[in-house]
Amino acid sequence: MVRYCSVPQCNTYCTEHGISFHSFPKDKELRKAWLVKLRIGKSLPKYAMACSKHFADEQFKKVKKDNRGYTRRILLPSAVPSCNIPVRPHDTVRIRRKDPVRRIPTASLTTCQGEVPVFTDEVLSSGDEDGIHPRQEEDLQNTLEELGATTPTTKCSTRDASSQANTYIEVEKAPLRHDMVKTDSQLAALTGIGSLQLMRNICGEFTEIRQQVSRRGYSLCDADLVLMVMIKLYHNISFNFLAVLFSVHRTTVSNLFTEGLAILAHILREAVFFPSTHSVQSNLPVHFEKFASTRVVLDCTEVPIEKPKDLQSRILTYSQYKKCHSAKILIGCAPSGLISFVSESYGGRASDSIITKESGVLELCTPFQDHVMVDKGFLIDTLCNDANLELIRPPFLKQRKQMSELDALRNQEIACARVHVERSIQRLKAYKILQQKFSAQMLPLFDMVMQVVAGLVNLSKPILASNRFFAQQ
């Protein structure tokens, strides 16, 4: 039996290669839809079929036929013919007219932010009285489309003295790029970095390392990726927002951020170093005159994090001091305000003494020579005694109602010295990623974030002016 298509005006037979035939559906509603769509008004025989020419490709699904790998196309159950529909002689095909082009008025007074061609009355009035000739309408439409695609300005207006009507041509703005940042103030507003030269130096180091560790193609250039990471750290905006700013998919932004952060952490960790005793004493501020042997000032800071899902993590991260779940880090600063030590992160439940012991910061000091300065609640007396280091800490009131005069003066002197170190920690918290709740998905990146931020703080403007130090001899 030779199969053929039962649709009017279709002469397709089964001998034609690549054509499949499909029976009319048994469902009454769907069968009626087929008959209406294919313009079939008479009753059909039992074995009537429609060929695959009347269906779109998306209306088929491929099904594996056998173990040899052959596949066949099967029509979807809800498919309705949509291609090669029969046309009756009395049918009229309506062609949609183009939208009318707005007439541009005579530019007697023109205010424009870019170069826009001006159409005079001679050009616009050369056709019929009703408007523009079809040929001129098409040319004008093409000109406007090309202008909208190539004009670099975002808005242009043409004003007529008689009508005062404005015609605006909106152009899609380009995504954020590093070359749009022209001044130090613009860079500081975006990233917190106050120097374009510093940004260029970081990008130069970034390019060298990225070429070594990654061989694949890049969605963003090196400078744009560094800019994106810095914006994320400084403003802590979402990856969805960054995807809009840089015209990159959200998942790509997340992957690029992880890659860029790892490279920047490798670069900027070199800016956080533990200076020698001679270097510390050569850059001693005047407020440390009575504490000249101080090698490092220690303090812990906490960053709020999202509540963990498992109970054990909740117990380890809950901070009684902050009354929330947090990550805790030990920060060491030189008397000059330079951040000299950043420990690994711990849960908010960890005590200051445990973090100090496990971080190994006291082992970097010279026994019987260096002093360590801490705040009142920093209880590391035993650790300093074991390391043969002298501890400088404000005196406690204990059972007394009032401090003695000597204790009050010493308390004031230590506070005046430590306040500048507190400013270094405050600069860390200027980055909003350390102010707001740290995302649980980004917790594995927390240590790298701290390394990058601490390095940027050390490379930024010094905390103390040059006249706050002892004169070099």
Q: Domain-by-domain residue ranges, the chain? A: 1-95, 103-173, 178-267, 272-468
Task: Determine the Cα–Cα distance for residues 76 and 441; give it in Å rounded to an integer.
Answer: 41
- Phi/psi class of residue 342: alpha, beta or left (left: φ > 0; alpha: ψ in -120 to 50)? beta
Residue 58 burial (CB < 10 Å; 0-12/13-18/19+)?
A: exposed
Q: How far apart are CA 181 and CA 200, in angstroms?
A: 12
- Separation CA 194–CA 180 (nearest Å): 16
Q: Classify residue 100 by burial, with Cβ atoms within 10 Å: 0-12, 13-18, 19+.
A: exposed
Helical axes 446-459 vs 222-235, angle rounded to 10°: 100
The confidence score (pLDDT) of residue 299 equals 92
pLDDT for position 176: 86
Q: How far is CA 102 from CA 124, 131, 140, 151, 164, in A?
A: 11, 10, 10, 19, 15
Q: Is 339 exposed, middle or buried (0-12, 13-18, 19+ CB in 10 A)?
A: buried
Q: What is the pLDDT along the chain (473 residues), one digit of tens a residue?
A: 667 788 887 888 777 777 888 888 888 888 888 888 888 877 778 778 888 888 888 888 776 665 655 566 788 888 888 888 887 766 555 666 666 766 555 444 444 444 444 444 443 344 444 444 445 445 545 544 444 444 344 444 444 444 444 443 444 555 788 889 999 999 999 999 999 999 999 999 999 898 888 766 678 889 999 999 999 999 999 999 999 999 889 999 999 999 999 999 999 999 999 999 999 988 888 888 888 899 999 999 999 999 999 999 999 999 998 899 999 999 999 998 899 999 999 999 999 999 999 999 999 999 999 999 998 888 899 999 999 999 999 888 777 778 888 888 888 888 888 887 788 889 999 999 999 999 999 999 999 999 999 999 999 988 888 877 776 65
Which of 328, 320, 298, 282 has its CA nearest to residue 422?
298
Query: Could you give the angle at which helices 196-213 and 222-235 cross, rounded to 10 degrees?
Result: 120
What angle, 0 to 180 degrees and rounded to 10, lies between the N-to-C axes of helices 184-191 and 196-213? 60
**CA 176, 303, 343: angle at the middle one, nearest 5?**
100
Beta bridge partners of 296: 372
Tell me the torsion sign for CA atoms 340, 346, 351, 354.
negative
Q: Where are the alpha helices (DSSP H) in 86-191?
A: 121-124, 134-150, 184-191
Question: How far is 106 from 122, CA to CA, in rounded Å?
Answer: 10
Beta strand residue intervals within 43-101, DSSP E: 49-51, 60-64, 71-75
Question: Per the structure block, which two tokens stand in for 100?
Answer: 């009318």
pLDDT score at 30: 85
Total-model pTM: 0.63
How far apart (Å, rounded) are the C-alpha atoms in residues 216 and 211? 9
Q: What pLDDT does residue 146 have?
A: 46
Given a contact cutoff of 8 angstroms between Cβ atoms, the answer to whether 60 and 75 are in contact is yes
CATH number for the segment(s) 272-468: 3.30.420.10
Residue 340: which H helix or E strand, with range? Answer: strand 339-342
Cα–Cα–Cα angle for 377, 305, 231, rounded to 5 degrees: 110
Closest CA to 296 of 358, 339, 325, 359: 339
Residue with tokens 């900027």: 268
Instruction: Please tell me the predicted confidence (pLDDT) of residue 33.
Output: 85
**Which residues lie below 8 Å from residue 282, measured CB to CB, with a gap of 6+?**
472
Q: In this predicted structure, what is the pLDDT of residue 407?
A: 85
- The answer to whether 358 and 328 have CB atoms below 8 angstroms apart is no
Q: What pLDDT, on a 0 to 100 scale, did the predictor assign at position 69? A: 57
Strand partners, 64: 71
Amino acid at 187: L
Helical packing angle, 222-235 and 184-191, nearest 10°: 60
